[in-house]
Amino acid sequence: MKIVMMATGGVGGYYGARLAAGGHDVYFIARGAHLTALRTNGLKLISANGDLHLPSVRATDEPATVGTADIVIFAVKQYDTETAAKLVVPVIGDETAVISIQNGMDPRESLKSIVGRDHVLGGTTYITGAKVISPGTITHTGTIARLVFGEYDGSVSLRGERFLDACKTAGIDALYSADIGKEMWAKFALLSAFSGISSMLRKAAGPIMSDPDTRQLLKDAIAETVAVAKAKGIDLGDDYVARHGDFYGSIPPDTKSSMLMDLENGRRIELNWLSGAVAQFGDELGVPTPTHHAIYSALKVAAEAAGLMSTPRPRP
């Protein structure tokens, strides 16, 4: 398949490397020093699931030069959605699927509005410790790397089945889901909580889970997102927290959320699409979200002071 990775950060780079090594026609969208390194030395992946070095890869900062793609893996930061979506419009043909595996939820659904709702498949990924450590080199410190995707209407499409086969030939743990909305909210319940709590406390998973108070705080945040999902028609089950609340105790204890790493490295944060989105949805639906409101308020002040905040979320 012809696959465009938009873009080649830690997550996009990991899956793109696997797909390219599996024999697929992969185009890596990158810029700056990262693009230069990809063109000069190829892509290196250092992973607990097996290292790769692709000495020659197709890399560009101009998606319009690629031609029509079968699949676009959309893995950019939420605050870059509109810019990145406009860049990939030229690669979209009649049957092209754009699979978003971004962090968080976008209340505005910006990607669908730009590339067309019929082209967008839902997606999510469980992957620990994937990041660019230097231009052209990506590390993946955990063993978890699971990709879940599906058509929003629950149908089984040819494009979806073909991409599932592509993932299998590349050795990627992938699931084609008939209920991708539920899968996305199940991940969001965990992600929004951990991103917010870890960033607010400036702590990795281990210290948070080893303290009973902060562990409960994390579970409270998860429960709020589960309640919001239920109000939106997505029932994750009354036992969701009991079943999954200790997930972050099963990963490497030094694991940090991507939002915490962004804060520590002076990069913009995706707060509006994480705890900010939970708080916004809760306000609109009449669901109390005090933990996420507290996270949003605390991080907004810190991020604004450091110039790392996107436009504040809408107020009800």
Q: CA 113 to CA 121: how far, in whole Å?
A: 13
Question: Per-residue pLDDT tens for 275-307?
Answer: 999 999 999 999 999 999 999 999 999 888 878
The confidence score (pLDDT) of residue 315 equals 58
For 174, the 3-state DSSP assignment is strand
Residue 128 has pLDDT above 90, yes or no: no
Has residue 236 got a pLDDT over 90? yes
pLDDT at position 241:
98
pLDDT at 102 > cutoff 60: yes
SS3 68: coil
For residue 235, what pLDDT is reported? 98
* pLDDT tens string 41-92: 999 999 999 999 999 999 999 999 999 999 999 999 999 999 999 999 999 9
Domains of the chain, first to last: 2-178 (3.40.50.720), 182-305 (1.10.1040.10)
Q: Give the separation between CA 240 and CA 243, rounded to whole angstroms.
A: 5
DSSP H or E segment with residue 120: strand 120-127
CB 1 within 8 A of CB 166: yes
Please tell me whether the peptide bond between 7 and the residue prior to it is cis, using omega within 30 degrees of 0: yes
CA-to-CA distance for 148 and 279, rounded, in angstroms? 25
pLDDT recorded at residue 4: 98
pLDDT digits (tens, 9 = 90+) for 16-40: 999 999 999 999 999 999 999 999 9
Alpha-carbon distance of 44 to 50, in angstroms, equals 11
Element (H, E) at 267: none
Cα separation of 20 and 195, whole Å?
30
pLDDT at 97: 98
The whole-angstrom separation of Cα 100 and Cα 72 is 8
Reduced to 3 states (helix: H, G, I; strand: E, B; else coil), residue 235 is coil
Is pLDDT at 314 greater than 60 in this prediction? no
Residue indicated by tokens 């709702």: 117
With a CB cutoff of 8 Å and minimum separation 6, the contacts of 87 are 6, 29, 63, 64
Task: Please state which of the ranges 129-133, 169-173, 187-191 shows the lowest mean pLDDT.
Answer: 129-133
Mean pLDDT, the chain, rounded, equals: 95
Q: Name the strands in the sheet holding 25-29, side by side, starting at the edge strand that comes first in the sequence.
A: 58-60, 25-29, 2-6, 69-74, 92-100, 120-127, 145-150, 173-176
CB 78 within 8 A of CB 273: yes
Q: What is the per-residue pLDDT for 141?
A: 87
**Residues contacting 97, CB < 8 A, separation 6+:** 70, 71, 72, 119, 120, 121, 157, 159, 160, 163
User: Tokens standing for 16?
Assistant: 């793109």
pLDDT band at 133 (very low <50, low <70, confident <90, very high): very high
Residues in the chain: 316
Q: What global pTM score does this model have?
A: 0.94
